[in-house]
């Protein structure tokens, strides 16, 4: 327990383990930290994770419901690993089940490590009861010389459980949160200028095939074209944006994905010519 004093419209930043403003008891440990909004106050929080030279953001988990959610991309093998963190933000124990699905929506068996216990297994589903405030780490164990497996993951839960995934490759990391709710549309902003490139992943969380309507805009809001992407029930696809939409080459803009009458999840990855990459937040409506 502790507190951080902030003046009106004030700001503070610190390393979590620092003695002056942070919490030294977190040194050498995994866990969570909860910031409660004081009475009549309003706060915002962001976290940063550093792993050697890699740095990425940590999603803030707030107002978590019991509906579970979707990870629109899971990557394992071919140099890629995905580290998933699930957190029970509720006040009582909750069951969490994470199912891995391939491109066609079928169960996808992955080599997995549970870093907290050292347990290794090959499975398409992980189920565990999490105590209030507890977290569960799940890491895919695909190696550089193994064939790449890509798909999506679905979280179901009896409580307030959510989390995020960290994509790892070549010493770099990029974080994406678990998407919740049923969005009518999802927008990704892209920048394909100066050697930058944009990757996209889509997942269909519904039990029926959907045709996802797509509209491409430049950065002035001019529509450049429309298309449709078919996804099988619980299916997934991923692609470089310019491979699907040539009009996105060498410009900045945005791409909007409709629901197609189903329930979809989306994420974007921005890559530089030098090989650095980061995630692009999905804006849901």
Query: What number does CATH give the domain 69-177?
Result: 2.60.290
Q: What angle do CA 114, 84, 120 make, to 5 degrees?
A: 20
**Percent of the chain's residues with pLDDT above 90:** 82
Q: pLDDT at residue 145 above 90?
A: no
pLDDT digits (tens, 9 = 90+) for 217-269: 999 999 999 999 999 999 999 999 999 999 999 999 999 999 999 999 999 99
* This prediction's pTM: 0.93
pLDDT digits (tens, 9 = 90+) for 77-127: 999 999 999 999 999 999 999 999 999 999 999 999 999 999 999 999 999
pLDDT digits (tens, 9 = 90+) for 23-73: 888 999 999 999 898 888 899 999 999 998 889 999 899 889 999 999 999
Q: pLDDT at residue 1 above 80?
A: no
Residue at token pair 């579970």: 68
pLDDT digits (tens, 9 = 90+) for 174-195: 999 999 988 899 999 999 999 9
Annotated domain spans of the chain = 69-177, 185-284
State residue 38's pLDDT score: 87
Domains 69-177 and 185-284 share a fold: yes
Query: What number does CATH give the domain 185-284?
Result: 2.60.290.11
Give the pLDDT band of residue 19 (cuts 50, 70, 90): confident
């Amino acid at each position: 327990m502790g507190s951080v004093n902030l003046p009106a419209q004030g700001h503070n930043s610190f390393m979590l383990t620092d003695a002056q403003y942070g919490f030294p008891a977190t040194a050498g440990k995994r866990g969570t930290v909860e910031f409660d909004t004081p009475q009549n106050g309003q706060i915002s929080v962001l976290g940063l994770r550093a792993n050697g030279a890699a740095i990425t953001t940590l999603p803030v988990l707030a107002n978590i419901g019991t509906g579970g959610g979707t990870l629109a991309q899971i990557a394992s093998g071919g140099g890629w690993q995905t580290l998933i963190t699930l957190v029970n933000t509720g006040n009582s124990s909750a069951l969490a089940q994470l199912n891995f699905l391939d491109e066609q929506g079928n169960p996808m068996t992955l080599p997995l490590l549970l870093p907290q216990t050292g347990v290794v297994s090959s499975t398409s589903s992980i189920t565990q009861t999490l105590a209030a405030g507890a977290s569960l780490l799940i890491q895919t164990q695909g190696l550089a010389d193994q064939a790449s497996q890509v798909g999506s993951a679905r979280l179901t839960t009896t409580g307030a459980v959510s989390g995020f995934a960290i994509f790892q490759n070549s010493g770099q990391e990029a974080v994406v949160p678990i998407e919740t709710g049923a969005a009518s549309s999802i927008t990704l902003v892209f920048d394909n200028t100066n050697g930058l490139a944009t990757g996209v992943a889509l997942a269909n969380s519904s039990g029926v095939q959907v045709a996802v309507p797509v509209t491409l805009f430049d950065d002035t809001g001019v529509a450049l074209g429309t298309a449709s992407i078919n996804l099988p029930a619980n299916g997934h696809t991923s692609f470089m944006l310019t491979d699907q939409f040539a009009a996105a080459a060498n410009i900045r803009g945005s791409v909007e994905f409709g629901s197609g009458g189903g329930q979809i999840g989306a994420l974007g990855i921005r890559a530089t010519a030098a090989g650095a990459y980061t995630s692009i937040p999905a804006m849901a409506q």
